[in-house]
Amino acid sequence: MSSLRRVRVELGARGYDVVVGPGARTELPAMLPLTARRVAVVTQATIPVEIDLGPDLAVERCEIGHGEQHKTLATVEQLYHSFAAVGLTRHDVVVGVGGGMVTDVAGFAAATWHRGVPVIHVATTLLGMVDAAIGGKSGVNLAVGKNLVGAFWQPRGVVCDVEALATLPERERRSGDGEMAKYHFLSGDDLDDLDLTDRIARCVAIKAEVVAADELDGGRRALLNYGHTLAHALEIATDHELTHGEAVGIGLVYAAELARSLGRIDESRVAEHRHVVGAVYALDTTVPRGVDVDALVGLMGRDKKALDGLTFVLDGPHGIEVVADVPDAAVRAALERVQA
């Protein structure tokens, strides 16, 4: 029996497989377009994963910087110059090899080069495998907010080779754990009962089902941002000293406290959030000392979901849903309950 798991993202003719398991990278050549003659591999110098694309393709390795400070339009422009130098056409392909930052940037560069070049993602971090590489969202940051410039551009396929996680630094692993904690509340599943491959595949399946129902983020897909409103603000306010998953862990607990402030859930449900984030996934549950509350509120007000006042994804009697026009006083009161 194969140890690989295949999860289909059902988008009609643009649907694709996410392959999860040890040795999954061997599935990459079968995902390449038959028309491809050139491959631009977007990656980072620190990523040890090697991929085999066969002898008949011209492969150009395009390295980008490490860290959110390089998730910028300047980095995308750098990639455009590399694409031009090798003559990359619409018949060729971009392969993003790395974590969420790499796949976000590679996807956006592919979406906008010649108005769209095929892209395949090889996720090498837990965060990339359970979230960032799947669903077609790509983009870069501006100084005023995360992922404010981007495009929807679905990949031809996604490879999640769990062998790549063997060398993942512990902090990078925790970043993925933050997203896994989110899926606990979106699904109600006890993911800890599964082995690593099946746990990742289950998270992928949850996201794939949501993406298939709301590809362009017009409604239900916003639920995947549970815990992310404060998380994105924290990332910016701490100059990315917090990893994305660490910030999401805090954001999940904050979202629970805010929901309780609004009378949507009771204390036992808040305690469940604190247990899952703090005990099951061993993540911090409080905002780091020294982070300015006014700055956080201002950043949350610029969140992409904020179409009608301060907007959050919150738990409640009907499950997790988008709640608009949340009172400023409730936002600040909940922040007090997650201070270190």
Confidence of residue 54 (pLDDT cuts 50, 70, 90): confident
**C-alpha gyration radius of the chain:** 20
∠ CA 235-238-243, nearest 5°, is: 45
CATH of the domain at 279: 1.20.1090.10
Whether 229 contacts 53, CB under 8 Å: no
| 47 and 169 in a common domain | yes
CATH of the domain at 9: 3.40.50.1970
Q: Is residue 213 part of a domain?
A: no
Confidence of residue 211 (pLDDT cuts 50, 70, 90): very high
What 3-state class would DSSP assign to 41? strand
Q: Is 305 a residue whose pLDDT tops 70?
A: no
| 255 and 154 in a common domain | no
Reported as a single tens digit per residue, the pLDDT across 159-183 is: 999 999 998 888 888 889 999 999 9
- Report the distance separating Cα 48 and Cα 308, nearest Å: 44
Dihedral in degrees, nearest 10, Cα atoms 102, 40, 149, 284: 0
Domain residues for the domain of 90 are 5-174
Q: Is residue 283 part of a domain?
A: yes
- Report the distance separating Cα 297 and Cα 323, nearest Å: 16
Number of domains the chain contains:
2
| 57 and 125 in a common domain | yes
Confidence of residue 68 (pLDDT cuts 50, 70, 90): confident
| 169 and 234 in a common domain | no
Q: Is residue 200 part of a domain?
A: no
| 240 and 98 in a common domain | no
- DSSP secondary structure code for residue 150 in this structure: E
> For residue 189, what pLDDT is reported?
77
| 110 and 245 in a common domain | no
> For residue 328, what pLDDT is reported?
95
| 133 and 21 in a common domain | yes
Q: Is residue 20 part of a domain?
A: yes
| 145 and 81 in a common domain | yes
| 118 and 247 in a common domain | no
Confidence of residue 292 (pLDDT cuts 50, 70, 90): very high
> For residue 308, what pLDDT is reported?
65
Q: Is residue 216 part of a domain?
A: no
Q: Is residue 113 part of a domain?
A: yes
Domain end call among 136, 153, 174 = 174
